[in-house]
Structure 1
Amino acid sequence: MEYVDYDATGLATLVRAGEVTPLELTRLAREAYVKANPHINAVVEFYEDAENIVGADGGSFYGVPFLRKDIGATEAGRLQERGSRLFKGHRPTTDSYFFRRAREGGLRTVGRTTMPELGTSGMSESVLNGITRNPWSLERSTGGSSAGAAAAVVAGITPIAHASDGGGSIRIPAAWCGLVGLNPSRGRISGGPNNQDASFGLTREFVVCRTVRDMAAALDLFSGPHPGDPFIIVQPNRTYVEELSQPTGVLRVGVASTKWGDLDIDPQVLNAVASTAALLQEMGHEVAEIDPPCDPAERMRISLSRSNFFAHSLEDAARTMGRPISPDTLEPMHLKFYEDGRNSQLSHPGELHEAMRRMRFRVGEAINPFHILLTPTMPTMALTHGGIYSTTNPMLSAKEFKEAGAALYQFLEVFNVTGQPSVSLPLAQSHEGLPIGVQIVARFGDEATLVRIARDLENARPWSHRRPSVRAGVVCA
């Protein structure tokens, strides 16, 4: 059987059985990288010393190769350049709790993945690292900002990879690459020791992977509070892996069959949602349609308010790096964000917090009758590279770029604001064979329900047999 046919749980089982060693898995990951990466450009750096990296002897992911997204959680002494020339050569001095837990769980982090500059785009290209191509169709985007993470996993370089989500950045590439992409509840995964509750509480760290059982095991590994976290979320009654063997019960399901933004939904995406709703009804769940739970204009106000703080954070970064803010260090759209932020009156942080509080309240009231929501993840299949959604595009104003993004990510950003857990599952394919993701959203703190319903859907409509056009064929002895 090939290395790429195993999920992370499966590889760890082989290690525990003595059928393969962690060192052999690292070498297989490097071989897969050598074969696949020239076609997709997903891994910006495979560590030269990867074969010397150690993790705990044991753990749910004992010996499994892992990749780090180039922003967010840090490894002390390793490059973290955030997809930007402004941060070229930057090496953090702190180990994030996330990567401490990764090592404790047996993961071996062997490299870092590509991403759009500063993680502000849902596309997969940057001036610094070039275009990351979708293994299903090389002329199409993987989505972002966890672009390289998703491309590397679906191509078989590693079975699981670090990702993060501040407005869809786990779920977008999961949808467009045919992966499982969970954005956990706010507070479920600590950002410590120096990035707790990042970006006004909108951003969470987690992974992209290929199976629900890997998602559950990763939740068990990475969840839990640490000193300095601003609050402690309700803790689960049992492990998430144990939830895989628990009954789901009857759920009330709210289905989004209409658009929540200015971009129309592709009919094939709507068909995928309708088909999933029918399947849930066949399983015995109560299904009803829901109206959009919030005003797109309200989401835009939050997005634009956040941008006002962007200029000041860039100035701080430029001083730290000893570089000027210029076309040589930032892409065109980020230069526009910077100029707009400098020239506008800075929003008071209280105004932004109040806007997010209002949205949480209104969305909470609108969807309270339901245990879960069913929505498209993205309104379209994977788009081609370039275009209006890339920060390398100089044609749009900053406001026009934000408006275009709000329309494309219409089902995603709202749940970063509310803090609810949401997962994209690869439940359908287009006529062209492109993945279509369907999003399941649960109540705040209720990842357990997401694990159980995701398991049910994976069992009913398995996706493991689907294969992209670029896939590393590496034999696992």
Structure 2
Amino acid sequence: MIGDLGATDATELAGLVAKGDVTPGELLDAALAAVEARNPAINAVVLLNEPAARRAIAEGLPHGPFRGVPFLIKDLGIEARDFPSHNGSRLLANTTYPGDSAIFTRIKASGVVTFGRTTSPEGGIGAATESAVYGGPTRNPWNLDHTSGGSSGGAGAAVAAGIVAFAHGSDGGGSVRIPAASCGLFGFKPTRARLPDGPYAGEGWAGMAIDGFLTRSVRDTATMLDACEGADLGAPYWAPPLAKGHAQAISRPPRRLRVALCDTSLTGDPIDPQVRDAVHAAARLLESLGHHVEPGRPSADVPMMMRAWTDIVAVGTALGIRSALKGRPLTGDLVEGVGRGALAHAETLHPTRYLQAVGEIHAFGRQMAGYFDTGPDILLSATLAEPPARIGRFSHATEDYVAYRTGPEGIFAYSPFCAVFNASGQPAASLPLAMSAQGLPIGIHLAAPFGADEELIALCAEIERAAPWASRRAPMADP
């Protein structure tokens, strides 16, 4: 198994390949054996294509930073010629592509050996991964009764279970950071447009969605971000250029920073006491490192942002469903309840509402930029308001899409921190710094000003060195 090789992350595995201690084929054998042994319990890895992986090895892998390391891509929004996709939906099952997306082209150039996809919820609009097309929910390797998160829940579960050292994900409202928090991993959402979206998509959810990675270490994320960084030709958004790159940034600690501590939701609502205590412990750790921490939270209009996000995603979901139906009737055997509800909600909106909602998102981004410009360098909070939810709590069976998102028991109440930074476009990260009394991971969330990716990831690396988490693994991930 991969764990038997003594490697803690993808960087170390690539080093073993470079030294000749192990071959890419042997690592692929180990990953496939881990899928066979562990995936039945968690239902995270789907659509395997071992022949494509073997062919890539035989033809000669690129000499990138992760040459020979097994890799999985999310079954949503990353087009790849050799990897058909269900996109989390029975309506889109077995979709094929004539070529590779820009992000997958760059991922391949890093030298990884991609051999399959990981599960996602239909439409990518949930904080849990329980899509009907995969025949059952994706479960958390730490406790099978709980969710691994969403929408990159399969990626989070596969990494936490030790099937792969890292995996691709994407984040339109926390979809990398929520699984990272749920599965005890590191998840980083870059500044808007830091990574390419094209050519199959012009933008994701009015620019709020971006790709990312679920990793065990900060250095794996930093190196893969550098391998994939930069907009593709004709991209509608632009990120400020990096000074030295993420990998160089983590080579030394950042300057001493002003940190705002938020131990409630961003609207002042209380969060789970265990989670609140974990936030305070993280604040003490930052203070011990010489950073200045004091209470604070932005006054930006979060409820406005939530309504706008909900409407934008509903319209995007409706467009995708209508396009894929190709004139067929909308039935429950093709589209799950939340998707049908999103389409129904979109059809209640005035034709001008989409542009109004985009304008509100942009206004919100300016509010958040103003907060960081005159206030802290970093905002510290929890990633989720409580430990990982039980399977079924965020099932897609309901057709009340608005309540699913914004109701008192909905996604925003459970995850009140993440989508804020998709709307603002600012970089944000979830760090696996705590565990609940029940043995479930608790993520700590850090966010920074627009474009300050290098400073944020340098801080994450400093925290990782001060409070290492690599040895904390889900039981099933042990060799």
TM-score normalised by L of structure 1: 0.94
Shift in Å, 1:237: 1.7
Residue 226 of structure 2 is matched in structure 1 by 220
| Residue of structure 2 in register with 1:242 after alignment | 248
Shift of 1:69: 0.3
Q: What percentage of residue pairs aligned between the two structures are identical? A: 37
2:20 corresponding residue in structure 1? 18
Alignment partner, residue 463 of structure 2: 457
> Which of 53, 59, 63 is residue 56 of structure 2 equivalent to?
53
SS for the counterpart of 2:244 is: coil
Q: State the alpha-carbon separation in 2 of the partners of residues 226 and 89 from structure 1.
A: 26
Report if aligned partners of 1:265, 1:379 keep a CA contact under 8 Å in 2. Answer: yes
| Paired letter, 1:27 | D
C-alpha displacement of 1:126: 1.2
Give 1:163's aligned residue.
169
1:171·1:424 contact (CA, 8 Å) conserved in 2?
Answer: yes
Q: Whole-Å Cα distance in 1 between the matches of residues 71 and 445 of structure 2?
A: 25
Q: Give the equivalent residue in structure 2 for 1:98.
A: 103
Which residue, 197, 200, 208 being the options, matches 2:206?
200
Q: Please give the alpha-carbon distance, in whole angstroms, between the structure 2 residues aligned to 1:293 and 1:463.
A: 33
Shift of 1:292: 4.2
Letter in 2 for 1:9: T
Per-residue CA deviation, residues 37-78 of structure 1 (Å, 9 max, x unaligned), is 011111012213132233634211010111010111210142
Q: What secondary structure is seen at the aligned counterpart in 2 of 1:78? A: coil
Distance 1:325 1:3 in 2: 49
What secondary structure does 1:153 align onto? helix
Q: Distance in 1 between matches of 2:185 and 2:322?
A: 36
Using the alignment, how far apart are the partners of 1:407 and 1:143 within structure 2? 14
Distance 1:119 1:3, change over 3 A: farther
Aligned counterpart, 2:179: 173
| Secondary structure at the counterpart of residue 427 of structure 1 | strand
The structural deviation recorded for 1:378 is 0.4
Runs (4+) of structure 1 moved beyond 6 Å?
Answer: none
SS at match of 2:473: coil
Q: CA deviation at 1:323?
A: 4.3
Change (3 A) 1:263 1:36: farther
Return the alpha-carbon distance in structure 1 between the equivalents of residues 27 and 288 of structure 2: 41
Matches of 1:312 and 1:417 in 2, distance apart?
20
1:207-252: CA deviation from partner (whole Å, max 9, x where unpaired): 1110011011111111123211124322222132222222311111
| Deviation of the 1:354 alpha carbon | 1.3
Task: Give the partner amino acid of 2:228.
Answer: F
1:390 paired residue number:
395
Q: Name the SS for the 2:307 alignment partner.
A: helix
**Structure 2 counterpart SS, 1:2:** helix
| Matches for 1:286-301 after TM superposition, within 5 Å | 286-301=292-307
Given that residues 190 and 229 in structure 1 are in contact (C-alpha distance below 8 angstroms), is that contact kept between their aligned partners in structure 2? yes
| Aligned partners of 2:315 and 2:354 also within 8 Å | no
Measure, in 1, the Cα distance between the counterparts of 2:306 and 2:446. 23
| 1:119 corresponds to which of 111, 121, 124 | 124
Q: 2:239, 2:39 → 1: CA distance?
A: 39
Distance in 2 (alpha carbons) for counterparts of 1:451 and 1:340: 38
Gaps of 5+ in 1: none
Distance 1:244 1:304, change over 3 A: closer
How many pairs align?
468
Q: Distance in 2 between matches of 1:349 and 1:192?
A: 22
Would the aligned equivalents of 2:257 and 2:377 in 1 still touch at CA under 8 Å? yes
- Distance in 1, Cα, partners of 2:112 & 2:478: 20
Pair 343,360 (structure 1): closer, same or farther in 2 beyond 3 Å = closer
Residue of 338, 346, 350 corresponding to 1:341: 346
- SS of alignment partner, residue 28 of structure 2: helix
1:67 counterpart = 2:83? no
Corresponding residue number in structure 1 for 2:371: 366
Describe the shift of the 1:380–1:451 C-alpha distance in structure 2 as closer, same or farther (beyond 3 A): same
CA contact (8 A) 1:189 1:225 kept: yes
Render the CA deviation track for 1:161-197: whole Å, top value 9, x for unaligned: 0100000000000001000000111010011223243
2:43 corresponds to: 41
Match of 1:438 in 2: 444
| C-alpha distance in 1 between matches for 2:77 and 2:268 | 30
- 8 Å CA contact 2:120–2:131 kept in 1: the answer is yes
Greater displacement, 460-469 / 160-169:
460-469
AA partner of residue 54 (structure 2): E
Q: Which moved more, 1:76-85 or 1:422-431?
A: 76-85
Post-superposition offset of 1:86: 0.5
Deviations 1:331-375 (CA, angstroms, capped at 9, x unpaired): 112112222323443344431221112111222222322111111
Instruction: Tell me the SS of whatever aligns to 1:437.
Output: strand
Secondary structure, in 3 states, of the residue corresponding to 1:162?
Answer: strand
- Equivalent residue, structure 2, for 1:330: 335
Indicate if the aligned counterparts of 1:3 and 1:28 stay in contact, CA closer than 8 A: no
**1:310 and 2:317 matched:** yes
- Any idea what SS the aligned residue of 1:249 has? coil
Q: Is the 8 A contact 1:68 1:162 kept in 2?
A: yes
Q: Which runs of 5+ in 2 are unaligned?
A: none
* Residue number in structure 2 paired with 1:281: 287
* 1:29–1:65 contact (8 Å) kept in structure 2: yes
Residues 16, 58 of structure 1: 8 Å contact kept: no
Residue identity opposite 1:46 in structure 2: L
Structure 2 counterpart of 1:399: 402
Correspondent of 1:128 among 125, 133, 141: 133
Q: 1:323 to 1:53 in 2, by over 3 A?
A: farther
| Counterparts in 2 of 1:300 and 1:103: CA distance versus 1, 3 Å | closer
For 1:428, give the aligned amino acid: A
CA distance in 2, matches of 1:60, 1:77: 22
Deviation at 1:263, TM superposition (A): 6.0
Cα distance in 1, alignment partners of residues 93 and 243 from structure 2: 44
Query: What is the identity, as a one-letter code, of the residue corresponding to 1:91?
Result: T
